[in-house]
């Protein structure tokens, strides 16, 4: 019998408990709360932002299932020796990421923000049409989310570049990879979309050195993690005129403090970590299907490479 312990402090666990119990009737599912002792016999944990105390209480876990796509918070913990980590792949988030990226790219490219402001001021002014060829987009990260975003943007006739760690091929996308590919990728890109996992190799990657290698009038869309971006560098490059704007969904400190300079910067558009919401129904179905496949010895995707951290 499979014993599963759920740990997601600060979240409403009810839909997850009900959904996992319905999808895995043969499993015994309990919820761990901060202050609890170990739940004996649990070999599998389903977690979101668990504290270190949870891991310390469960040294015999064999599998840790992350309730979201990004495992950076888990990677900061000391995990039980030998435990594998599994994460959500897509789970309905790729379509949401494509919606967010297309909205941000089109809003910038078509100058809708400027028109809205000027109409509200009583003006009526048209700007010359822009050419897609002058606004090449570059997507950093061509995984479950980035690949969908890149392919969707290509359908709007933007030239689209993609960058990943290993070499990839995506229809309609000019693909670059590794450190060696970064220079060409940045030089070919004006609108930069970040969908990288947060790892030691990608932390602070959106800094002065990379952002200033983008084409002049660059625009940044960060939907991945706040720690990818060196915030002060972005503000300097916006104020110097090298960059034309940014749409930011994730921040080094969340919630974003009310007094943060991003809040009032005229060239920055903000959302509260809303670019892709976790969809419990889809995620539960995916977790249940993966646990059943594992029990039958079938291959699954979404196993995290603990050395790479994603
Ligand atoms: P994946 O693991 O499927 O894809 C990651 C991609 O990044 C891969 O293409 C990978 O390369 C590439 N990559 C990783 N490290 C490097 C590196 N050092 N240099 C170049 N490329 C690299 O992740 P997902 O697409 O599922 O998710 C991406 C991130 O999105 C998550 O980690 C999470 O942080 C964020 N996210 C944000 C949400 C939000 O609401 N804002 C919601 C969900 C996720 P390769 O193909 O070679 O492996
Ligand atoms: C995730 C997130 O990684 O919600 O799933 O950010």
Distance CA 182, CA 201 (A): 13
**Dihedral class, residue 10 (left if φ above 0, else alpha if ψ from -120 to 50, else beta):** left
Ligand closest to the CA atom of residue 222 = 1
Q: What is the pLDDT of residues 197-249, one digit of tens each?
A: 999 999 999 999 999 999 999 999 999 999 999 999 999 999 999 999 999 99
Ligand 2 atom at minimal distance to the Cα of residue 93 = 5
- What is the Å distance from ligand 1's center to 124 Cα? 42
Residue 44 in contact with residue 32, Cβ under 8 Å?
no
Contacts for 106 with CB less than 8 Å, ≥ 6 apart: 112, 156
Tell me which residue has its CA closest to atom 29 in ligand 1: 197
Please state, for a pLDDT cut of 90, what percent of the chain lies above it.
99
Ligand 1 pocket residues where CB is under 6 Å: 68-70, 89, 93, 141-146, 163-166, 168, 195-199, 201-202, 223-225, 249-250, 273, 275-276, 310
Q: What is the pLDDT of residues 115-130, one digit of tens each?
A: 999 999 999 999 999 9
Ligand 2 atom at minimal distance to the Cα of residue 277 = 4
pLDDT at 1: 82
Distance CA 242, CA 245 (A): 9
Ligand 1 atom at minimal distance to the Cα of residue 164 = 21
Ligand 1 atom at minimal distance to the Cα of residue 90 = 26
Ligand 2 pocket residues where CB is under 6 Å: 68-70, 278
pLDDT at 130: 98
- What is the Å distance from ligand 1's center to 198 Cα? 8
Which of 138, 71, 123 is CA-nearest to residue 307?
71
pLDDT band (50, 70, 90) for residue 298: very high
Q: What is the pLDDT of residues 153-186, one digit of tens each?
A: 999 999 999 999 999 999 999 999 999 999 999 9
Q: What is the pLDDT of residues 2-35, one digit of tens each?
A: 999 999 999 999 999 999 999 999 999 999 999 9
Residue 230 in contact with residue 206, Cβ under 8 Å?
yes
pLDDT at 40: 87
φ, ψ for residue 16, nearest 5 deg: -70, -45
pLDDT at 159: 98
Q: What is the pLDDT of residues 136-156, one digit of tens each?
A: 999 999 999 999 999 999 999
Tokens 């993609």 sit at which residue? 162
Tell me which residue has its CA closest to atom 2 in ligand 2: 68
Tokens for 164, please give them. 């990943």
Mean pLDDT of the chain: 97
Contacts for 172 with CB less than 8 Å, ≥ 6 apart: 151, 154, 155, 160
pLDDT surpasses 90 at 103: yes
pLDDT at 244: 98
Tokens for 67, please give them. 């309730």
Strand partners, 177: 164
Ligand closest to the CA atom of residue 201 = 1
Please state, for a pLDDT cut of 70, what percent of the chain lies above it.
100
Rounded to two decimals, what is the model's pTM? 0.98
């Amino acid at each position: 019998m499979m014993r599963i312990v759920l740990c997601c402090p600060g979240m409403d666990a009810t839909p997850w408990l009900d959904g996992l119990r319905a999808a895995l009737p043969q499993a015994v599912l309990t919820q761990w709360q901060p202050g609890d002792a170990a739940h004996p016999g649990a070999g599998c944990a389903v977690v979101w932002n668990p504290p270190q105390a949870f891991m310390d209480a469960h040294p015999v876990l064999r599998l840790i299932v992350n309730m979201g796509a990004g495992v950076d918070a888990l990677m900061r913990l000391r995990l039980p020796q030998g435990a594998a980590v599994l994460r959500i792949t897509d789970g309905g988030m790729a379509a949401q990421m494509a919606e967010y990226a297309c909205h941000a790219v089109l809003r910038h490219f078509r100058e809708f923000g400027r028109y809205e402001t000027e109409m509200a001021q009583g003006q009526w002014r048209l700007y010359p049409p822009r050419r897609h060829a002058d606004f090449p987009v570059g997507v950093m990260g061509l995984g479950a989310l980035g690949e969908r975003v890149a392919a969707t943007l290509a359908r709007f006739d933007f030239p689209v570049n993609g960058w990943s760690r290993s070499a990839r091929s995506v229809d309609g996308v000019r693909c670059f990879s590794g450190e060696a590919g970064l220079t060409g990728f940045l030089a070919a890109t004006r609108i930069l979309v970040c969908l990288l996992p947060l790892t030691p190799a990608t932390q602070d990657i959106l800094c002065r050195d990379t952002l200033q290698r983008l084409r002049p009038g660059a625009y940044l869309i960060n939907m991945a993690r706040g720690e990818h971006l060196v915030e002060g560098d972005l503000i300097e490059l916006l104020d110097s005129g090298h960059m034309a704007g940014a749409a930011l969904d994730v921040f080094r400190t969340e919630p974003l403090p009310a007094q943060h300079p991003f809040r009032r910067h005229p060239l920055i558009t903000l959302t509260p970590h809303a670019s892709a919401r976790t969809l419990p129904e889809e995620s539960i179905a995916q977790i249940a299907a993966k646990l059943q496949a594992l029990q039958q010895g079938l291959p699954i995707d979404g196993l995290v490479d603990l050395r790479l951290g994603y």
